[in-house]
């Protein structure tokens, strides 16, 4: 029973307000209120819905808020060519080295916390859906259910890519018997995700939602899901056309746009800007609702001065891949010590003067202030889908169909490059090539633009480049961790089903190779 509790609904978690709750409701209800007592009015339903947002808030993002899952870090970034880790980095070292086993605690955390998020969303959908017209009007009810379906789709997407064939819970789990389901195929899970996002996009408003799900967020995520289906393991290339339509609708909506300054996207003053299609809201310090984005990827130096923990460093080949006068380089890579200079001073240092001693260089996308009191509770919202991501995915969808043109490239890839030139001759425009050449350029641009936002591993898998990328990582021997290539086997493109879950549920079958 103790192991099963992570699958069964936690009422406390359901009615706990997420960090964005202040903008959703005026009062916090007593934590002992039952669902039946809460779900009698629209205001109570809104509080219940906030539990679904709270369940994915830190779990899918870069951590914080008491979670160990941090999907964007552990699945999306660690075992890729964006970063390397030191030899003492625990589970993260094992992930980097392709030595994950079914008993890995972080993998278990991701599985359990995402399934808890699914169940919370299921409870919201089922219970708000059962409310009567005298308790909530139909328009408000449909909107809340659509928001919960967005949350459920995001959670299932976070599960199906790493684990592939997984149990598909479509309703609230309230008993142990409800929890013991067989695995559904990846195709079945994807179709369920698609159905949720179609409902959400048809109902939700067309606006920048300020941390709430919107039509554009649902369409962008749906397009991303379609794109992932074009690669391993489904290889459904017919989905390129479906993805194209979703991204085209987002672009034509006029709701979203690029900010003029790349660095501004990741500042507190712009954290829900027109460039953000959806971001996980964080609120700190001191409220246990902050994230780990700036501290996990922060530079050398004290955290109180804007530094990071030192458990993650830059892959040196990744840093070298940037044009020296690409402004993303000096915003995404930290070579300085936060004790020695402010972030404003650090970004003014010419990368040509950085030197060659790269062993201590770290990521640096969300620039914490100096001094600060963030500790492990930083207030920066974690981007999930940005408009720049939509532009790049649109170009990918067109290229997958062999219909990408130079005009399309100029309006997508080259538009991104135009805003990051420190000098006019920097970051040359992409020129239309063969379908394979175009794909290579788009994938490379995604790494430079979206690094540390948690999509690199999905991208490499989708483009069919994961194995060759892992085998090519060479961190120069500076760390005792070593390189992942000697350990890698083809089955490690996915994660194992956690061994404790196999013990709980006899219907589960372990992924091949584990």
Per residue in 152-209, pLDDT (tens digit) is 999 999 999 999 999 999 999 988 888 999 999 999 999 999 999 999 999 999 999 9
Percent of the chain with pLDDT over 90: 85
CB 474 within 8 A of CB 486: no
| 261 confidence band (pLDDT: 50, 70, 90) | very high
Cis peptide before 187 (omega within 30 of 0): no
Give the pLDDT confidence score for residue 286 in this predicted structure. 83
Res. 298: pLDDT tops 70? yes
Lowest-pLDDT range of 66-75, 90-99, 284-293, 484-493:
284-293
Q: What share of the chain is helix, strand, coil (3-state, %, to 5)?
A: 50, 5, 45
Give the pLDDT confidence score for residue 468 in this predicted structure. 97
Q: Dmax of the chain from CA atoms?
A: 69
Res. 70: pLDDT tops 50? yes
Res. 412: pLDDT tops 50? yes
SS3 (DSSP) at 84: strand
Res. 340: pLDDT tops 60? yes
CA dihedral 163→168→174→176, nearest 10 degrees, is: -60
pLDDT digits (tens, 9 = 90+) for 434-466: 999 999 999 999 999 999 999 999 999 999 999
| 28 confidence band (pLDDT: 50, 70, 90) | very low
What value does the mean pLDDT take over residues 246-271?
A: 97
Res. 7: pLDDT tops 90? no
SS3 (DSSP) at 506: coil
> What beta strand segments (E) does 308-366 contain?
313-314, 333-334, 362-363
Higher-confidence position of 431 and 475: 431
CB 240 within 8 A of CB 174: no
Higher-confidence position of 457 and 21: 457
Residues near 375 by beta carbon (within 8 Å), at least 6 away in sequence: 285, 295, 303, 304
Query: Cα–Cα distance between 203 and 393 in angstroms, integer?
Result: 24
Percent of the chain with pLDDT over 70: 94
Res. 219: pLDDT tops 90? yes
Q: How many degrees, rounded to 5, is the angle at CA 506 between CA 501 and CA 507?
A: 100
CB 281 within 8 A of CB 209: no
Give the pLDDT confidence score for residue 287 in this predicted structure. 79
CB 292 within 8 A of CB 70: yes
CB 106 within 8 A of CB 78: no
Q: Which of 28-32, 282-286, 327-331, 358-362 has the highest mean pLDDT?
A: 327-331
Res. 4: pLDDT tops 70? no
| 430 confidence band (pLDDT: 50, 70, 90) | very high
Higher-confidence position of 286 and 128: 128
Kindly give the pairing relationship between strand 362-363 and strand 166-167.
unpaired
Of 217, 235, 213, nearest in space to 226 by CA: 235
Query: Cα–Cα distance between 27 and 411 in angstroms, integer?
Result: 45
What average pLDDT is seen over the chain? 92
State which H helix or E strand residue 184 sits in.
Answer: strand 183-184
| 312 confidence band (pLDDT: 50, 70, 90) | very high
Give the pLDDT confidence score for residue 24 in this predicted structure. 37
CA dihedral 438→439→442→445, nearest 10 degrees, is: -110
| 485 confidence band (pLDDT: 50, 70, 90) | very high
Q: How many degrees, rounded to 5, is the angle at CA 217 between CA 248 and CA 451?
A: 90
Give the pLDDT confidence score for residue 32 in this predicted structure. 56
Give the pLDDT confidence score for residue 285 in this predicted structure. 87
Give the pLDDT confidence score for residue 15 in this predicted structure. 35
Res. 18: pLDDT tops 90? no
Res. 20: pLDDT tops 60? no
CA dihedral 418→460→56→270, nearest 10 degrees, is: -10
User: Tokens 């991303």, residue?
Assistant: 224
| 33 confidence band (pLDDT: 50, 70, 90) | low
| 477 confidence band (pLDDT: 50, 70, 90) | confident
Over the range 393-427, which residues count as b (16 or more CB within 10 Å of their CB) and which as e? bbbbbbbbeeebeeebbeebbbebbeebebeeebb
CB 248 within 8 A of CB 226: no
What value does the mean pLDDT take over residues 466-495?
A: 92
Over the range 133-153, which residues count as b (16 or more CB within 10 Å of their CB) and which as e? eeebeeeebbbbbbbbbbbbb
Q: How many degrees, rounded to 5, is the angle at CA 451 between CA 446 and CA 453?
A: 105
What value does the mean pLDDT take over residues 92-111?
A: 97
Q: Cβ of 447: how many Cβ atoms within 10 Å?
A: 20
């Amino acid at each position: 029973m103790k192991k099963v509790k992570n699958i069964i609904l936690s009422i406390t978690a359901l009615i706990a307000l997420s960090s964005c709750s202040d903008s959703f409701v005026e009062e916090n209800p007593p934590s002992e209120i039952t669902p039946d007592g809460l779900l009698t009015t629209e205001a109570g339903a809104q509080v219940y819905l906030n539990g679904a947002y709270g369940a994915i808030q830190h779990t899918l993002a870069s951590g914080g808020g008491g979670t160990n899952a941090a999907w964007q870090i552990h699945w999306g970034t660690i075992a890729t060519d964006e970063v390397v880790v030191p030899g003492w980095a625990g589970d993260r070292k094992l992930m980097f080295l392709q030595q994950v086993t079914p008993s890995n605690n972080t993998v278990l955390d991701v599985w359990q916390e995402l399934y808890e998020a699914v169940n919370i969303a299921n409870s919201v959908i089922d219970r708000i859906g059962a409310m009567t017209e005298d308790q909530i009007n139909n328009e408000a009810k449909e909107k809340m259910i659509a928001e919960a379906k967005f949350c459920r789709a995001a959670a299932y997407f976070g599960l199906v890519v790493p684990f592939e064939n997984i149990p598909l819970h479509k309703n609230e789990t309230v008993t142990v018997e409800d929890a013991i389901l067989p695995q559904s195929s990846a195709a079945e899970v994807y179709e369920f995700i698609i159905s949720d996002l179609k409902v959400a996009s048809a109902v939700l408003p067309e606006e920048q939602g300020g941390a709430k799900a919107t039509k554009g967020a649902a369409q962008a995520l749906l397009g991303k899901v379609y794109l992932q289906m074009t690669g391993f393991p489904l290889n459904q290339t017919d989905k390129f056309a479906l993805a194209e339509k979703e991204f085209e609708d987002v672009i034509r909506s006029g709701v979203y746009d690029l900010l003029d300054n790349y660095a501004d996207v990741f500042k507190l003053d712009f954290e829900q800007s027109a460039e953000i299609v959806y971001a996980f809201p964080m609120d700190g310090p001191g409220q246990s609702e902050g994230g780990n984005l700036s501290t996990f990827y922060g530079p050398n130096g004290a955290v109180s001065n804007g530094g990071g923990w030192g458990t993650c460093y830059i892959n040196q080949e990744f840093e070298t891949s940037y044009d020296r006068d690409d402004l993303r380089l000096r915003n995404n890579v930290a070579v300085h010590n936060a004790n020695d200079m402010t972030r404003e001073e650090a970004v003014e240092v010419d990368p040509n003067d950085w030197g060659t001693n790269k062993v201590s260089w770290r990521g640096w996308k969300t620039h914490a202030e100096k001094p600060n009191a963030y500790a492990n509770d930083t207030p920066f919202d974690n981007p999930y889908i940005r408009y720049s991501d939509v532009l790049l995915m649109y170009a990918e969808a067109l290229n997958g169909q062999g219909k990408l043109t130079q005009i399309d490239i100029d309006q997508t890839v080259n538009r991104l490059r135009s805003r990051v030139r420190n000098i006019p001759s920097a970051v040359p425009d992409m020129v239309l090539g063969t379908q394979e050449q175009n794909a290579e350029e788009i994938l490379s641009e995604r790494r430079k633009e979206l690094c540390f936002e948690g999509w690199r591993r999905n991208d490499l898998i989708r483009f069919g480049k994961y194995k060759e990328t892992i085998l090519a990582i060479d961190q120069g021997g500076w760390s005792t961790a070593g390189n992942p290539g000697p350990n890698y086997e083809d089955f490690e493109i996915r994660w194992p089903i956690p061994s404790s879950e196999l013990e709980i549920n006899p219907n589960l079958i372990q992924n091949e190779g584990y």
